[in-house]
Amino acid sequence: MLFILILCVCAYIKGDYVVLPDNLPINKNTVTVSGVSSGGAMAIQTHMAHSSIINGAAIYAAPPYYCAMGNLEVAMESCMKCESDPGSINVLELYLITLNTASLGFIDGVNHLMKDRVWLFTALNDSVVNSEAVHKTRDFYLKFLFHSSQLATVFNIEGEHAWATNKNSLKDCNFLGKPYINNCKHDFVGDFLNHILMSPHNMSLIAPTPQQAKNLFKFKQSLYTPISPSEEYGMHEDAYIYIPEQCQKVQSEKHCHLHVSFHGCLQNDEVVGEQFFRDTGLNEYAESNDLVILYPQAHSSKLNPNGCWDWWGYSGPQYASNVGLQIRTIKNLLDRLLINVN
């Protein structure tokens, strides 16, 4: 099957794995991220650490940047259940910490956030991450964006803790459980792609077309981790990338848009197989809109039995900064994909 791929990608095939290409026609000015739950927190961390590279973020059900302050108890109590004490997330304090972290060079300068676009989702009946936490994420981002219209929210949908999309094959929006991707009967993925990627560049989102199994590739994420063994800080050996055929050719015109999507807890390939990188609705838009979708993978371990991304410090106290081991891995992946784009 793999042999029918066009020439330039053929060169990269090694067994089941591809070598991550370094010559895709990617536009370096349209890099965006998304994620759900711990993956939403990871998307925010990656955005904050590298806002000079990333221009937009779509976040489902995640608290603001550095909410846990390196403490699991704070993560589970204040950041996830904050309804009982809505004041327990102090956005002003997180804002000041962020400014300080930026001034020390451990995240990019916050001026890079000024023109970015953010889309936030929380369902009314989310029993895992309270909606109030996501309202705080809104308040946090609004401190950095130039205009409030750069931030869009979906806070009024009945449903549970999940990535919300509109695929009929998925369970109803009120379902809580694997694969944590629900049919909420509205095209939220199209909405967020429009908001964070298309409308700021005056592009129109083209209707989704069927994804092609041959365009989903597995690669060795472990080649991009800063230290071995990477399992100790929650990075899986493998990860995935969806590259539509029209983005596989080496071309001078950089017409493709890189999007990084982070799964939530209990949502990596060890737990839900291929579901997160097949069923979120992203690949169909990748086909019709020239998107390259990177799906990094977290790994379960003793400190992190559910394979969550680190948003409380199991990988080390600097987990939320550009020296955090997980964020360094993501940066290495971005560098690889963008190295020949100038």
Based on CB atoms, which residue is closest to ligand NAG, 31 or 241? 31
Angle, helices 91-103/131-142, rounded to nearest 10 degrees = 50
Q: What is the C-alpha separation between 127 and 137, in angstroms, rounded?
A: 17
72 binds ligand NAG (CB under 6 A): no
158 binds ligand NAG (CB under 6 A): yes
- Which residue of 23, 71, 174, 251 would you call a contact of ligand NAG, by CB under 6 A? 174
202 binds ligand NAG (CB under 6 A): yes
Q: What is the C-alpha separation between 218 and 18, in angstroms, rounded?
A: 6
> Catalytic pick from 34, 108, 116, 126?
126
Residues 6+ apart with CB under 8 A from 62: 35, 36, 37, 38, 39, 40, 41, 43, 44, 129, 133, 134, 137, 311
Residues numbered 205-264 forming contacts with ligand NAG, rule: CB under 6 A: none
Q: What is the C-alpha separation between 280 and 183, in angstroms, rounded?
A: 10
Site string for ligand NAG, 94-133 (x = CB under 6 A): ------------------------------xx--------
Based on CB atoms, which residue is closest to ligand NAG, 123 or 298? 123
Based on CB atoms, which residue is closest to ligand NAG, 201 or 255? 201
Based on CB atoms, which residue is closest to ligand NAG, 5 or 129? 129
HSE, side-chain direction, 13 A CA sphere, residue 112: 16
Residue 338, beta-bridge partner list: none
201 binds ligand NAG (CB under 6 A): yes
HSE, side-chain direction, 13 A CA sphere, residue 14: 8
Which residues participate in catalysis according to the annotation? 37, 126, 161
Binding residues for ligand NAG, per CB under 6 A? 124-125, 158, 174, 201-202
